[in-house]
């Protein structure tokens, strides 16, 4: 039995993690759940999985959650940063699933690592902001970090059983999002509901917008740099609209190994929380005859400027990826709230990156300050 703490339990990854736990009650026990604002969903999860602790954003939501759950549930309700830290380091927990959205996932993940917890990582911003610090902490604490992102899970699977010194490149596949064929001149007319309508994947709002701008792929490039100790020039992004090949690894002898599956996150989640075993998820394999063909194309970096900016931040390193991430979070939120057009997202990110004086070998405090500074400058740019 593996005891899980699920941080971000009401989001897409969190909900799918709990579906898997429900499918295999003899394999997984839910000890802690943490969410931010979705108190109604969290209350239902508490009733179903009977965790020992549950965490929400603030005291007001904690009171609301107490009023929603049955009096005999026995769950301890916590809130705020202290609550998230307790959920991340809860002694009965074996593995922490970090599925929080954005920069908020960094500190709980580091706290879980310091507590010696195995990590199933879905929060890509953790490695984007502080990849070197996080991976070093994992080594020092003897902690295994397993990827949940479908692309990084695919690479991880393609690398299994092979020598890292034989690797030539890794290829992150991207669907291209809903605007693959949309001319750049029309980006100014894109509405949030258009950007949220992803052609192949069902995801949360923030990651859906990132997928539409290809920033999500850019963040994955930075994440892959640290996950697999790979220089940016050996990480390629390739557009694959069918979303069946989740990513690929090429080797120095010319061989290419790919991991394939239907576009459903449960496979990657299950592999992370059950590794090295594979769970019988009863999921279908791709309908190869029905699909007919796989197509590929290079991403248009002039049209999808966010991907270009992410490569720039990845190559520069230091505090610049944290600045990129923070500026993107602020810009995406502004777009979702109809305060800026879609085409201004990369403009804001670029302007803030240009203002930043990069710290090349940052401590955690430098990264957190860069994050704070970038949010402030991005907010100013929007007003």
| Res 198: pLDDT | 75
172 closest CA partner among 126, 227, 121: 227
Please report whether residue 329 resides in a domain.
Answer: no
Please report whether residue 357 resides in a domain.
Answer: no
**What percent of the chain is predicted at pLDDT more than 90?**
92
Q: What is the DSSP letter of 239?
A: E
Q: What is the DSSP letter of 254?
A: S
Q: In this structure, are 24 and 114 located in the same domain?
A: yes
Q: In this structure, are 19 and 110 located in the same domain?
A: yes
Q: In this structure, are 161 and 92 located in the same domain?
A: no
Q: In this structure, are 31 and 171 located in the same domain?
A: no
- Label residue 70 by pLDDT band (50, 70, 90): confident
- H or E stretch including 129? helix 125-140
Domain count, the chain: 2
Angle between helices 364-382 and 344-355 (to 10 degrees): 130
Please report whether residue 327 resides in a domain.
Answer: no
* Phi, psi dihedrals of residue 235, rounded to the nearest 5°: -120, 110
Measure the CA–CA gap between 78 and 60, rounded to whole angstroms.
Answer: 11
Q: In this structure, are 9 and 32 located in the same domain?
A: yes
| Res 383: pLDDT | 78
Q: In this structure, are 160 and 302 located in the same domain?
A: yes
Mean pLDDT of 258-283: 95
Please report whether residue 67 resides in a domain.
Answer: yes
Q: Which two tokens stand for residue 222?
A: 């930075």
Q: What is the DSSP letter of 234?
A: G
pLDDT digits (tens, 9 = 90+) for 19-67: 999 999 999 999 999 998 899 999 999 999 999 999 999 999 999 999 9
Please report whether residue 185 resides in a domain.
Answer: yes
Distant-in-sequence contacts of 341-346, Cβ < 8 A, 24+ apart: 341/187, 341/188, 341/189, 341/190, 342/187, 342/188, 342/190, 342/195, 342/212, 342/213, 343/184, 343/187, 343/188, 343/190, 345/209, 345/213, 345/215, 345/306, 346/213, 346/305, 346/306, 346/309
Check which CATH number belongs to the domain holding 85 and give it: 3.40.50.720
| Res 202: pLDDT | 67
Mean pLDDT of 68-92: 92
| Res 127: pLDDT | 96
116: left (phi > 0), else alpha (psi -120 to 50), else beta?
A: left
For the entire predicted model, the pTM comes to: 0.93
DSSP symbols for 160-224: TTS-GGGEEEEEEEE---TTTTS-GGGGGG--HHHHT--SS----HHHHHHHHHTHHHHHHHHHH
Residue ending a domain, choose from 147, 168, 183: 147
CB count within 10 Å of CB 91 equals 9
Q: Is 10 helix (H, G, I), strand (E, B) or coil?
A: coil
CA atoms in the 13 A half-sphere facing the CB of 292? 1
Q: In this structure, are 223 and 300 located in the same domain?
A: yes
Residue ending a domain, choose from 124, 147, 170: 147
- Label residue 92 by pLDDT band (50, 70, 90): very high
Distant-in-sequence contacts of 105-112, Cβ < 8 A, 24+ apart: 105/7, 105/8, 106/130, 106/134, 107/81, 108/7, 108/34, 108/84, 109/134, 110/134, 110/137, 110/364, 111/85, 112/5, 112/88
CB count within 10 Å of CB 128 equals 26
Measure the CA–CA gap between 304 and 333, rounded to whole angstroms.
Answer: 18
Measure the CA–CA gap between 92 and 203, rounded to whole angstroms.
Answer: 30
Mean pLDDT of 112-121: 98
CA-to-CA separations, 197 to 45, 193, 204, 334, in angstroms, rounded: 27, 6, 11, 18
Q: In this structure, are 37 and 161 located in the same domain?
A: no
Please report whether residue 45 resides in a domain.
Answer: yes
170 vs 73, which has greater pLDDT?
170
| Res 73: pLDDT | 80
Please report whether residue 328 resides in a domain.
Answer: no
Q: In this structure, are 43 and 188 located in the same domain?
A: no
Residue ending a domain, choose from 126, 147, 168: 147
SS3 for 55-113 is EECCHHHHHHHHHHCCCCCCCEEEEHHHHHHHHHHCCCCCEEEECCCHHHHHHHHHHHH
Q: Which two tokens stand for residue 220?
A: 């994955």
Q: Answer whether 120's CB lies under 8 Å from 95's CB.
A: yes
Cβ-Cβ contacts under 8 Å for 110 (sequence gap 6 or more): 126, 130, 133, 134, 137, 364
| Res 201: pLDDT | 66
Q: Which two tokens stand for residue 93?
A: 């927990």
Q: In this structure, are 133 and 197 located in the same domain?
A: no
Please report whether residue 142 resides in a domain.
Answer: yes
Please check the confidence at residue 267 and state whether its pLDDT lies above 90: yes
Give, in degrees to the nearest 5, the angle at Cα 151 between 284 and 49: 65
Residue 221: which domain range?
A: 152-262+295-316
Please check the confidence at residue 204 and state whether its pLDDT lies above 80: no
Q: In this structure, are 254 and 311 located in the same domain?
A: yes
Q: In this structure, are 114 and 242 located in the same domain?
A: no
Strand partners of residue 34? 7, 55
Question: What is the average pLDDT value for the chain, to the nearest integer?
Answer: 95
Please check the confidence at residue 234 and state whether its pLDDT lies above 80: yes
């Amino acid at each position: 039995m593996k005891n899980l703490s699920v941080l971000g339990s009401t989001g897409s990854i969190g909900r799918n993690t709990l579906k898997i736990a429900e499918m295999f009650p003899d394999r997984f026990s839910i000890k802690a759940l943490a969410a931010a604002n979705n108190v109604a969903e969290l209350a239902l999860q508490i009733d179903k999985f009977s965790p020992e602790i549950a965490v929400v954003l603030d005291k007001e939501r904690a009171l609301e959650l107490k009023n929603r759950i049955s009096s005999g549930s026995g769950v301890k309700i916590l809130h705020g940063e202290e609550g998230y830290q307790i959920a991340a380091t809860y002694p009965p927990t074996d593995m922490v699933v970090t599925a929080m959205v954005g920069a908020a996932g960094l500190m709980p993940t580091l706290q879980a690592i310091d507590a010696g917890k195995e990590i199933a990582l879905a929060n890509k911003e953790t490695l984007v902001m502080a990849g070197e610090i996080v991976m070093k902490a994992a080594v020092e604490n003897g902690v295994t970090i397993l990827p949940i992102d479908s692309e990084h899970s695919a690479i991880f699977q393609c690398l299994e059983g092979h020598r890292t010194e034989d690797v030539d490149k890794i290829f992150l596949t991207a669907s291209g999002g809903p605007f693959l064929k949309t001319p750049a001149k029309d980006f100014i007319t894109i509405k949030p509901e258009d950007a949220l309508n992803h052609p192949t994947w069902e995801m949360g709002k923030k990651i859906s917008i990132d997928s539409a701008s290809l920033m999500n792929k850019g963040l994955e490039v930075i994440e892959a740099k640290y996950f697999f100790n790979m220089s940016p020039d050996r990480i390629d992004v390739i557009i694959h609209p069918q979303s069946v090949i989740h990513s690929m690894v090429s080797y120095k002898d010319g061989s290419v190994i790919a991991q394939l599956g239907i576009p459903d996150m449960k496979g990657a989640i299950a592999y992370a929380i059950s590794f090295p075993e594979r769970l019988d998820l009863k999921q279908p394999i791709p309908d190869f005859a029905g699909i007919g063909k796989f197509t590929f194309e290079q991403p248009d970096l002039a049209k999808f400027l966010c991907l270009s900016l992410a490569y720039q931040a990845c190559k520069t390193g230091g505090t610049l990826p944290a600045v990129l991430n923070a500026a993107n979070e602020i810009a995406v939120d502004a777009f979702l709230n109809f305060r800026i057009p879609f085409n201004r997202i990369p403009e804001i990110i670029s302007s803030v990156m240009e203002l930043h004086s990069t710290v090349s070998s940052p401590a955690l405090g430098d990264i957190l300050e860069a994050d704070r500074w970038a949010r402030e400058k991005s907010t100013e740019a929007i007003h």
